[in-house]
Structure 1
Amino acid sequence: MSITKSQTEKIGSIFNGNRFIIPTYQRKYSWTDTERKALWQDIEESLNDKMNHFVGTLSFKENKSIGLSTDTVYEIIDGQQRITTIFILLKVLIDKLENEDVRNSQLAAFIGSHNNLKLHPLGSDGDFLNQLLFESETIDVETIDKRSQKYMFSAKKLFKAFSNTLSQTEVEERIIFIRDNIEVLVFNVDSQAQAVKMFSIINDRGLPLRILDKTKSILMLYSTLHLKEKLNNDINDRFEKIFDAYDDLLVNRDKLGILGRLEENTIFTHHYYSSRKLFAATWNNRDGADTIFDNLKLKCEELKETPDDLKLFIEEYIEDFEKFAVSYSTLIQDVAVKDIYQKPFRYLEFTATLYPLIVRLYMQGKLDELLPILETIEVRIYKLRGTNPVADIYWLSSQVSEFDLTKEDIKNHLITFSEKFVNNHVFKTYLEGPIASNGAVKHILSEYSKDTHDIETYKDYQVEHIFSKDPNYDTTAYGFGDDYYYEKNRLGNLSLLEKGLNIGVSNLPPINKVDGYLQSSNQEIRNLAGEIQRGHFDKTNVDTRRDAIIDFCITRFNLD
């Protein structure tokens, strides 16, 4: 049956005689267990209360039917997250029907058949959804590398768990409820232009959208209303790549264990912080995602009366944003395989503030040569001093983006920046203090050991106090005074030791830690064990060791 222009519809009537495609420019499937559990709970509560359940607004555009099919084909403009989730849930429930004839009739009505689904995401997600619903036993979970596909797999897994104990009667009740009692407000539009307008109206009425969806939507709206749709295809194509880049970023982030706070807003804001040239009148390095979106909308509003200027701005923005997003994603993929990136990105872990600059340098092929100075800045300023200056870095990010700065120019800017916050004198002063809990210490000690630790070994290391944090012996016997609390946390009294070994040596005096130290994979602490074994190891040795580590740091993390 055809879907009317605008009215409330039941899920059953939507799928009856219709097929749906999710275009590649759409946001990939991204509902988590939180949203899926909420849907399941809503259905359960509505069943108990004998009430219909309204799940929101859907927007479709009718396409031509494919081949000899009598089904009407619709392109989903808005609502694919809900439709995809309900579609997977229906398939799980239908699979539990014991009567084969009933099961087949329900599949034909609501799901479709193998390789001919009633809901089909274009691209690789479509092939995966087909495999998930009809050949799930052939899926190797470890090989799923798309975040959207991981989420679809998790959706089926969750719904199978929730429906596991349902009786046949309860399964049938839920299928009937989804078919006859879940309602949506449907907008069936004639053109993409009308769809964009409707999508923007829905957004303005307060339905939550993610920042990339909102950004694409507002650009599509201005292209539709003021540029006669000239940029619609370009916006769609570029945002498809931006969405894919973001999804790939999340997958690789989880694999590498870095960028723990990265979210959709991050890639959006990081691009803005390094794009002052596009927002000269309103750019501010303290702007958050909502303000940045407002600035984008304001810029389009200012230019709408001069279509050529509006077209140029949107073209420049989406081209630069796409390149930035793809480069961000490619950089993180390179972190997994490029040796030079392992220590600064995975061991030390760059502060998020540096990423707009790092990505811009990567885009221009200048990152590798400037990596040592960036690592030095991370150690000195962001970790050791513990401050997070953003203005200088975001300014430089935009300079790198706007002007053809040489690597030497950029290096000089970075040196000036470092000297402004932590010059050599200040660096040495910090290194001489009690810094056991500082974020730079583990990396400093790892570099000082000169061992090549794999990432798992490095993560297992803990900062070990040679003379213990809570000693069960008299520290004055080793030359320490009343300021032991200060002295024990200084650099000379610290080393790296595996967690298990660290627990074993606990609060013992150094001479009783020798056996534990000798079992370590850290050559430096094994050498230390030999020094302790010789006897007379006391505060003097710790002070000498501190001076040696500080001298190493001044050379290793230098500004030249």
Structure 2
Amino acid sequence: MNNPVTSPAFVESINTKASAQRAFEIKASSCTLKENSQEGGNIILGENKKYCIPIYQRTYSWTEIQLKKFISDLFSAFSSKVEQGEAEPIFIGTMQISAIKEGEHQIIDGQQRLTTFFLLLRFLKEKFPESSVLKEEKFDWLRTEVNNGEQQKFLKEVIESPSSVEGSLNPYKNNYNLIQHFFEEQMQSMEEELGFNIEDFLDFLFSKVYFVLIETRAGLSKNLQIFDAINTTGLDLNGGDVFKIRMYEYLHDIKKQEKSIFEDISALYEKIDKKNKEFGDQVTDIQQILAIYQYVIVARHQLPGTLYSLGANTFFERLFDSIFKIEKWENFSKASNVEISLKELDEIIDCRFLWHRNWKYKKNFSAEDAGAVKLIWNSRYGRFWHLYSVFLFQLKEDENRWEKLLYFTRQLNRLFFIYSVRFDKRINEIYSTLMHRVIDRLVNGSYEEVMSIINDKIGKETSHNTGWKNLNYSLTTNLVENAKRKNLICRLSAMLEENYKSTEQSQIKDIINRIFDEPLDVEHIEAYNHIEESKRVELHAEWGQDINSLGNLIILESNINRGIKNKPYIEKIKQYHTSKFPFIKNFHLTYPEWNLNTCKSRTEIEKNKILAYLFKENEKPYSASAVN
């Protein structure tokens, strides 16, 4: 047979790829179902071989399209036997199994294909009862542990009496019916043109359909690594799949839980899906929940702070590697002390959806609180928004945790705003040093300690107005040189013109939508380019840096801004009047004319307004009697 994917060279390449893995045994071979004439070839069935689909696998789920292609490919290859006297071999893919244990192999990859062959053979035995080959066929070589035995009940129904089994909820029966339909359709077509003989078809099926079978002797985690190293087709495990499997191995092998614990793990995934459906939105997923839990684990077990920056998938992959002693990873020397809890993951899911419910409906928020959330997301430190869920989780026994979270959010916004405005990039002083202390105290300390760290860093206005990158300069001068700085300042300025203390839900939504969600531009009140080109040099000579100062900038709906372009102020204010923002609508009442002096005056007013907001509440920490 001249088929590159089943040749010895291909099989050797599989072994070469896998050889990079450590502490395991691997054997790769070219296999057929029952009859293999290749030197060193192997077979899938026969010799009392039995297979188990382990509990952590997905349910059987091949679709109608996949089944139709499967049957069509088989008949396409088989037709060459009738036409040419020799059937063309067909490669069906790779299959990875564990070494035999308790009389059976566990299927790591390939269960969908093997189960489909199982159903095909069961159909053929029912269809051709006179076949001597099929009379000897038994169906005790495949079982499944998926869904804690429920899938095995479905499979057993098809084994014992396929023609009497109702479909719908039984995926094996449903696909059995589809296989029957597609097979009879192909067989009828072939009979009309070339003739069909079941014994010839079985000879082809058992001897010309090839797999590359990879048998490994290793733990579950190592088997997943091998799968990842060699897999090029079939199921692609994502981070959520891998965590589910490795968490099962951790609880079953390390914590000695029963196999049924897998159902508890799966229940967390189902809970997330159910709650997402309730909200009609993809609120979160298991990767985000793990990212939140990552903060808790790193802080609680005093792991190096650099691990906060790892992606959640990588973090848990390396954590499990270290717990299982598969591989030594830098910064995971304390991994053996780590406890991973389904109960805590369940509580974090609840906290994440509690936060989203209040956010979505603006329940227990003020407009200021909602604006703080938006400003944090848009700051240079937006990744720390996960701390809302960590906060709710850590203070779960505190009846005032929501009010405390809001104060935490407002102060965190002040801190991030100051350092996002003062510096054009995020700085390690905040991103690493300070926030690692905040997370540590949030997990291992007290609420009061957390707020003390944040409030001390906010400090006084004077502490931010000395030397290079002082706050006064950053708030007022040449805002257009850094888009993030410009947008943060102008949006906070706009929020402070609104009734931002409002707790009325419709008003909160209106304020937040206008400032943060609808299309906005930052408008130069005095146009950066004079409408008369000949006056542009004179304009810039007169205005200098003030042309890009806080006083000369204002947020404005994009459609209005793009309509007025660089018209003179007297023309612009006619369009300002159509704005949804009350302070812009009435801008002409405060500033009936616009010139350099009014610009400088407004710069001071805007600066002082923002500074008052940033520092006015820094010495008023939350108390149950004084929220907001």
Aligned residues: 439
Provide the residue aligned with 1:63 in structure 2: none
**Within-5 A mapping of 1:355-504:** 355-363=385-393, 364=395, 365=401, 366-382=404-420, 385=423, 386-388=425-427, 389-403=431-445, 405-406=446-447, 408-419=448-459, 423-425=463-465, 426-436=470-480, 437-438=483-484, 439-450=487-498, 452=507, 453-457=510-514, 458-473=517-532, 481-482=540-541, 484=543, 486-504=545-563
Q: Please point out which of 218, 221, 239 is paired with 1:211.
A: 239
DSSP 3-state at the match of 1:114? coil
Distance in 2, Cα, partners of 1:464 & 1:29: 58
Provide the residue aligned with 1:230 in structure 2: 257
Distance in 2, Cα, partners of 1:445 & 1:553: 7
**Within-5 A mapping of 1:3-18:** none
DSSP 3-state at the match of 1:54? strand
Distance in 2, Cα, partners of 1:212 & 1:395: 29
Provide the residue aligned with 1:165 in structure 2: none
Give, as a single letter, the amino acid of the residue that structure 2 aligns with 1:409.
E
Provide the residue aligned with 1:327 in structure 2: 351
Deviations 1:474-499 (A, max 9, x none): 79799954375632322111112111
Distance in 2, Cα, partners of 1:390 & 1:503: 41
Change (3 A) 1:283 1:503: closer
Distance in 1, Cα, partners of 2:343 & 2:240: 15
Contact 1:271 1:324 in 2 (8 A): yes
Provide the residue aligned with 1:153 in structure 2: none
Provide the residue aligned with 1:99 in structure 2: none
Deviations 1:248-300 (A, max 9, x none): 798899959x9xxx886554344323333554355534552435532443245
Q: Please point out which of 547, 552, 558 is paired with 2:604.
A: 547
Contact 1:428 1:550 in 2 (8 A): yes
1:274 aligns with 2:296: yes
Give, as a single letter, the amino acid of the residue that structure 2 aligns with 1:353.
R
Distance in 2, Cα, partners of 1:420 & 1:510: 37
Distance in 2, Cα, partners of 1:182 & 1:470: 73
Change (3 A) 1:8 1:384: farther
Change (3 A) 1:493 1:238: farther
Deviations 1:111-165 (A, max 9, x none): 9733443389xxxxxxxxxxxxx9xxxxxxxxxxxxxxxxxxxxxxxxxxxxxxx
DSSP 3-state at the match of 2:479? coil
Provide the residue aligned with 1:54 in structure 2: 93
Give, as a single letter, the amino acid of the residue that structure 2 aligns with 1:521.
K
Change (3 A) 1:507 1:311: closer
* Residue segments in structure 2 that go unaligned for 5+ positions in a row: 1-28, 34-43, 46-51, 78-87, 99-105, 117-161, 179-184, 191-200, 230-236, 327-333, 396-400, 500-506, 620-628
Greater mean alpha carbon deviation, residues 375-384 or residues 242-251 = 242-251
Distance in 2, Cα, partners of 1:112 & 1:347: 56
Question: 1:219: how far off?
Answer: 4.1
Distance in 2, Cα, partners of 1:432 & 1:465: 14
Change (3 A) 1:423 1:349: farther
Contact 1:461 1:497 in 2 (8 A): yes
Contact 2:293 2:345 in 1 (8 A): yes
Contact 2:464 2:471 in 1 (8 A): yes
Contact 1:277 1:402 in 2 (8 A): yes
1:297 aligns with 2:300: no
TM-score (norm 1): 0.60
Distance in 2, Cα, partners of 1:485 & 1:50: 79
Question: 1:507: how far off?
Answer: 1.4
Provide the residue aligned with 1:144 in structure 2: none
Distance in 1, Cα, partners of 2:614 & 2:170: 60
Contact 1:348 1:440 in 2 (8 A): no
Distance in 1, Cα, partners of 2:534 & 2:589: 21
Contact 1:274 1:395 in 2 (8 A): no
Distance in 2, Cα, partners of 1:548 & 1:28: 64
Distance in 2, Cα, partners of 1:334 & 1:370: 16
Question: 1:344: how far off?
Answer: 2.9
Q: Please point out which of 243, 251, 258 is paired with 2:269.
A: 243
Distance in 2, Cα, partners of 1:57 & 1:112: 32
Contact 2:362 2:370 in 1 (8 A): yes
Question: 1:545: how far off?
Answer: 1.4
* Residue segments in structure 1 that go unaligned for 5+ positions in a row: 1-5, 15-19, 60-75, 87-107, 121-133, 135-167, 303-309
Distance in 2, Cα, partners of 1:226 & 1:434: 59
DSSP 3-state at the match of 1:495? strand
Give, as a single letter, the amino acid of the residue that structure 1 aligns with 2:391.
L
Provide the residue aligned with 1:17 in structure 2: none
Give, as a single letter, the amino acid of the residue that structure 1 aligns with 2:426.
T
Distance in 1, Cα, partners of 2:287 & 2:462: 30
Question: 1:330: how far off?
Answer: 3.4
Question: 1:504: how far off?
Answer: 0.3
Contact 1:58 1:184 in 2 (8 A): no
Question: 1:313: how far off?
Answer: 5.1
Question: 1:519: how far off?
Answer: 0.9
1:507 aligns with 2:566: yes
Give, as a single letter, the amino acid of the residue that structure 2 aligns with 1:401.
V
Contact 1:52 1:183 in 2 (8 A): yes
DSSP 3-state at the match of 2:567? coil
Distance in 2, Cα, partners of 1:347 & 1:484: 30
Distance in 2, Cα, partners of 1:440 & 1:284: 28
Question: 1:461: how far off?
Answer: 2.3
Deviations 1:366-418 (A, max 9, x none): 31232211221232224663425133213321321123x13x33211111233
Give, as a single letter, the amino acid of the residue that structure 1 aligns with 2:455.
I
DSSP 3-state at the match of 2:449? helix
Contact 2:526 2:569 in 1 (8 A): yes
Contact 1:9 1:183 in 2 (8 A): yes
Q: Please point out which of 145, 165, 168 is paired with 1:114.
A: 168
Give, as a single letter, the amino acid of the residue that structure 2 aligns with 1:297.
D
Contact 2:352 2:389 in 1 (8 A): yes
Deviations 1:215-271 (A, max 9, x none): 4434433444444x326555x355335535665798899959x9xxx8865543443
Give aligned-pair identity as a percent.
Answer: 12
**Within-5 A mapping of 1:60-209:** 113-118=167-172, 199-207=220-228, 209=237
